[in-house]
Amino acid sequence: MSTIEQAVQSVIDRSAQVHDKVVLPVRTQRFSTYAMSNFRGGIGKSTLTFNIAYEISHDDKTLLMDVCPQRNVSQSIFGDSVLDFETTIYDALISEVAGTGQIEIEDLINPISSYCTSFLGRGRKKSYMIPGSSELFLFPSLLYSQLAQYGQLRGDHGKAASAKVLLAIKKIIARAEEEIRPSKIIIDTSPFFAGATHLAWCAAEALIIPVRVDQHSIDAMRLTLEMLAKPDSEFHMFNAQAGLNHRPKVHAIAMTHCGWSRQKKNTPDSSTKFFLQKALEVAKEYEHLFSEEDAEDCFYLLDDFHSSGRISGKQRIPLSRLEAGQKFLIDGQRLEVNPAVDRYKREIKHLAASL
C-alpha cells in the first residue's frame, strides 16, 4: 500500500514519461462501456468525451451516447443538425420506462462521420452516436415516480418492474450492439446524479471521472465516490429495490486544467500538486472502488486546455487535429490555439489508450 507522497510522485513520474514518449505498461483491466461522470459542471467533461471518442475510434468501432440535457457533446458531433433529430435518447428512454411503444433502433443511432468530418479517415472505424435531448431535464421526475410506484409492489413483481426502469439504457445499448456491434461505448452524463445519469451507471462497466484542479471539483469527486460506495445511497437503494447488485469500477480520474512549473520540465506547478494530493487522499479512502489495486494507477494529468478546449468543442475539431497558433472566432471572441495543445495531444492519447 503506497503512501500519499508516493502516490503523488507516481502520478507525476508517469505523466513525465508520457511527455518523454516512454512506452508505459498497459492497464491490467479494460472495459467496453464507460460513463463520463462527476457531480460538477464546467470541468471539461463534454470536451473530454468528444476527444476520447475521437481517439478510440482509430481502432474501435465506437458508440457515443449523450444523456446530459445540456447536450454539449451532441452539439460537438452534430452541430446545428442537433435540432433536426426526431428521435433522441429521451424518446428511447420514455419508450423503455413508460412502455409507450418501442423505438426503431435504426432511427436512434446516427453515423458520426456524416455530421463531423473529423471522424472521416482511412483505417478509422465507423462510429455512431445517439443524440441527447434538452427534455432530459424533465426525466428525473418521471423516473423516480415510476420507481416509487413499483416499490409498492410485493416481491418479484416490484423487483422486475423496477429493474425494467433502471436497466433502460442497458437495454438500449444491447439493441444498438445487435445493429452496429461497437467494441467501445462512451456515455456522457449530466453533472447531477438523478435521472439518466443513474441509468448510465446501471449500464456502465466503468467510470471516467474528470476532476478540475480546484476544491469544488475535489468535493464533487468525493460525493461521486460516496454515491458508489455507500449502501444507503440513492444509487444502491433503488438498485436493491430492483434486485440489482451492480457497481461500475472507477477506471480513470482525469485531472483537468493542470498547470506546469516553468523551472522544472514536465513537473506540475504547486497548485496542481496540492489538488492532486487532495484528490489522491479522497481516492485512497475509496480505493476498493478502483479498477487497479493502487488508485494512483488510475490518475491522469491533463493540461489546461481553456482556449483550445473551447475551440475544439465549438468548432467540432478534436484537439489532436489542432495546431498551436491557429486562430478562430468563438462567440464573437478571437481565440488562439495555445502551445499547450501539443502536451494535451499526448495526454489524451495516453488516457484513451487505457480504455
Cell of 73: 457533446
The number of folded domains in the chain is 1
What DSSP letter does each residue of 3-31 carry, written as one string? -HHHHHHHHHHHHHHHHTTPPPPPPS---
At position 251, the amino acid (one-letter code) is: H
- Taking phi over 0 as left and psi of -120 to 50 as alpha, with beta for the rest, 334 belongs to beta
By the 8 A CB rule, do 118 and 311 touch?
A: no
Cell of 264: 522544472
Longest dimension (CA), the chain: 66
DSSP 183-233: SEEEEE--SS-TTHHHHHHHH-SEEEEEEESSHHHHHHHHHHHHHHH-TTS
Cα–Cα nearest to 133, from 80, 91, 183: 91
Nearest Cα residue to 132 out of 180, 190, 184, 181? 190
Is residue 286 within 8 Å of 40, Cβ to Cβ?
Answer: no
Q: Which three cell numbers stand for residue 178?
A: 445487435
pLDDT given for residue 192 in this prediction = 87
Q: Is the dihedral of CA 312, 314, 316, 321 positive or negative?
A: negative
Tens digit of each residue's pLDDT, the chain (355 residues): 579 999 999 999 999 999 998 888 889 999 999 999 988 877 778 889 999 999 999 999 999 999 999 999 999 999 988 888 999 999 999 999 888 888 999 999 999 999 999 998 878 889 999 999 999 999 999 999 999 999 898 888 989 999 999 999 999 999 999 999 999 999 999 988 889 999 999 999 999 999 999 999 999 999 999 999 999 999 999 999 999 999 999 999 999 999 888 888 888 999 999 999 999 999 999 999 999 999 999 999 998 777 888 899 889 999 999 999 999 998 888 999 988 899 899 999 999 999 9
Give me the CATH number covering residue 129.
3.40.50.300
Which DSSP letter does residue 76 get? H
pTM value > 0.85: yes
The position carrying cell 487505457 is 354
pLDDT of res. 1: 58
> How many other CB atoms sit within 10 Å of the CB of residue 310?
16
| Predicted pLDDT at 121 | 81
Helix crossing, 341-353 with 45-56: angle to 10°?
70
Q: Contact, 7 vs 301, CB < 8 A?
A: no
Range(s) of the domain holding residue 330: 4-23+30-353
Burial class (CB in 10 A: 0-12, 13-18, 19+), 137: middle
**Contact by Cβ (8 Å): 248, 236:** no
